[in-house]
A and B are shown apart, each in its own frame.
Chain A
């Protein structure tokens, strides 16, 4: 059974810092991995999607890497801003049509 964990559970950083969020999954046989952002009481916003054949994806100040063999992914946020404060969720799929299995999330707070 696939299990997804995220470390740390919560993170507080001063504005401007670069930071890394970590995600681990137990079954390396994944179709893709996705990072989401969730603001309090809101739905999910997709940030980056990495197919199993890819190593990383970049969007603006965000960079996500995938090491499928070791079951790890990292989300790098450069020059953090208070508007980045949210919960970041990592999620994997076993096949293209399968359900998404989520981690518990990392709650990020960027202090002005």
Chain B
């Protein structure tokens, strides 16, 4: 499978716990994006990496959230001291600015987080 993969697919945690999600982009895709989708809404942008550099962060990304892409390949998204409002689907996407690709973002299956 050469698509974007995310792990875990589902995570249930208790309020106050820390959680970490992983995203593996399509090989050679240098851009990686994180989005969050709450029930009944479209996904909302969280943050974006070009290689290992985090270039943009949304105001949705509070100081309890941290994202990394240390080697410019996979990325992790950590949420500290989870709150019930963090319950959502977390989507990862990757893209490659090659000629003719239009830098199209390809999305992974998402990680469903439930905070009890």
For window 83-116 of B, CB contacts with A under 8 Å fall at 89, 91, 93, 95, 97, 102-110, 112
In the complex where A32-B102, A100-B105 touch, is A44 in contact with B97 (Cβ < 8 A)?
no
A104 at interface (Cβ–Cβ under 8 A)? yes
Q: Are A51 and B91 in contact (CB under 8 A)?
A: no
Give the distance to chain A from B6, nearest Cβ to Cβ, in Å: 8
The docked-state distance in angstroms from the alpha carbon of A97 to that of B102 is: 9
In the complex, what residues of B have CB within 8 A of residue A36's CB?
107
Determine whether A77 belongs to the interface, using a CB cutoff of 8 Å to chain B.
no
Interface status of B28 (Cβ within 8 A of chain A): no
A-B contact count (CB 8 A): 55
A75 at the interface (CB under 8 A from B): no
Q: Which of A42, A96, A100 has the most CB of B within 10 A?
A: A100
What string of 1s and 0s marks CB contacts (under 8 Å) between A26-41 and chain B? 0000011010100001
Cα(A45)–Cα(B102), bound, Å? 17
Question: Is A66 part of the contact surface with B, judged by Cβ < 8 Å?
Answer: no
Number of interface residues of A (CB under 8 A): 23
- Interface check A108, CB cutoff 8 A: no
State the main secondary structure of chain B at its contact with A: strand
Give every chain B residue within 8 A of A32 (Cβ-Cβ).
102
In the bound complex, residues from chain A placing their C-beta under 8 Å from that of B43 are: 44, 89, 100, 102
Q: Are A102's CB and B42's CB within 8 A?
A: yes
9 contacts between A and B (CB under 8 A): A4-B42, A32-B102, A41-B89, A44-B43, A96-B97, A97-B50, A100-B45, A105-B41, A105-B42
Taking Cβ atoms with an 8 Å cutoff, the residues of A that contact B are: 4, 31-32, 34, 36, 41-44, 46, 49, 51, 89, 91, 96-97, 99-105
- 6 nearest A-B pairs in the assembled complex, by CB-CB distance: A102-B42, A99-B45, A43-B109, A96-B103, A44-B107, A43-B110
